[in-house]
Amino acid sequence: MTYGAIKNDPGFPEVREAAAAPAKVLFDHELVGLVLGRDPSAPGAERLCEKIFELFAGRALSPVTPEEITSGCGLPETEAARLSAAIELARRLLWPEEGMGPIRSPRDACRAAARIRCADREHFIVLYLNARNVVISEETISVGSLNANIVHPREVFRPAITGGAAAVILVHNHPSGDVAPSREDLSLTSRLAEAGRLLGIEVLDHLIVAGQRYLSFRSESYL
């Protein structure tokens, strides 16, 4: 499904698949080896790669500091800086400075919320959109267990009112990896959607994300 995005906007061209695969496709640990300047066949190289992916997969659209890498993977400062720079380069290529363009679909919204997809605690964030479905701001509403007492409509819609947002997209992660909505998820979404209707600010969607998986309440007719 789509969110009724703008057509033929020259400022945000469509991303197209590459016409052909590269001549040589490197394994993940080989790519990591090239970035770090290490021999990818050395003992422990594949395990190091697995650790890096466990910690940072899905965060290509969010900065990862050298300190995070050193803390999580035990890499020395120089190698951590190289890996952080590679991730930053990927982030800029995927999301240029002018932004990622209109949010046209649940997949776009999932990309915009990449930083929480692999978080080990539950985060509830809100993407605030203008009339062209472009993200103008993002707020973290709660970190921890999701319930109606923590995620209150006033906390969700205050930034929308002050920032002049036309619509919002709700996103939270399930560290368990299961994207099925709970009864509390459904109840909270209904409550926030009703508050949005009263304020004239549409709740465009609610996504549950977990690693590379996501569920769209709009697509599943929960919203």
pLDDT at 7: 38
pLDDT at residue 4 in the model: 60
| Model pLDDT for residues 154-168, shown as the tens digit of each residue | 999 999 999 899 999
CA separation for the pair 201, 14 (Å, rounded): 27
Mean pLDDT of the chain: 80
Mean of pLDDT values over 166-186: 92
pLDDT in the model for residue 99 = 54
Q: Which has the higher per-residue pLDDT, 211 or 15?
A: 211
* Domains in the chain, number: 2
**Domain with 42 in it:** 28-94
What is the reported pLDDT for 202?
95
User: Among the ranges 27-41, 85-99, 130-144, 199-213, which has the highest mean pLDDT value?
Assistant: 199-213
| Mean pLDDT of the region 55-62 | 60
Check whether residue 121 and residue 197 sit in a common domain.
yes
Determine the residue type at 80.
A
Residues 158 and 112 in one domain: yes
Are residues 115 and 195 both part of a single domain? yes
* pLDDT score for 19: 38
Residues 119 and 206 placed together within one structural domain of the fold? yes
Whether 122 and 85 share a structural domain: no
Report the side by side order of strands in the sheet with 202-210: 135-143, 123-129, 167-173, 202-210, 213-216
For residue 205, the number of C-alpha atoms closer than 13 Å in the C-beta half-sphere is 28
Place 196 in a pLDDT band, splitting at 50, 70 and 90. Answer: very high
> Is 54 domain-assigned?
yes
My answer on whether 126 and 188 are in the same domain is yes
CATH number at residue 191: 3.40.140.10
pLDDT > 90 fraction of the chain, expressed in percent and rounded: 30
The model's pLDDT over 94-143, given as tens digits with 9 standing for 90+, comes to 655 555 578 888 888 888 888 788 888 899 999 999 998 988 888 888 88
Same domain, 128 and 85: no
Longest dimension (CA), the chain: 61
User: Is residue 159 in some structural domain?
Assistant: yes
Confidence category of residue 64, pLDDT binned at 50, 70, 90: confident
Residue 128 lies in a domain: yes
Query: Mean pLDDT, to the nearest integer, of 67-91?
Result: 85
Question: Which pTM value belongs to this model?
Answer: 0.60
SS (H, E, C) the chain: CCCCCCCCCCCCCCCCCCCCCCCCCCCHHHHHHHHHCCCCCCCCHHHHHHHHHHHHCCCCCCCCCHHHHHHHHCCCHHHHHHHHHHHHHHHHHHCCCCCCCCCCCHHHHHHHCHHHCCCCCCEEEEEEECCCCCEEEEEEEEECCCCCCCCCHHHHHHHHHHHCCCEEEEEEECCCCCCCCCHHHHHHHHHHHHHHHHHCCEEEEEEEEECCEEEECCCCCCC
Q: Determine, yes or no, domain membership for 208.
A: yes
Question: Nearest CA to 170 among 130, 202, 133, 127?
Answer: 127
Pair 88, 119 in one domain: no
Name the residue with higher pLDDT: 47 or 190. Answer: 190
Residues 203 and 179 in one domain: yes
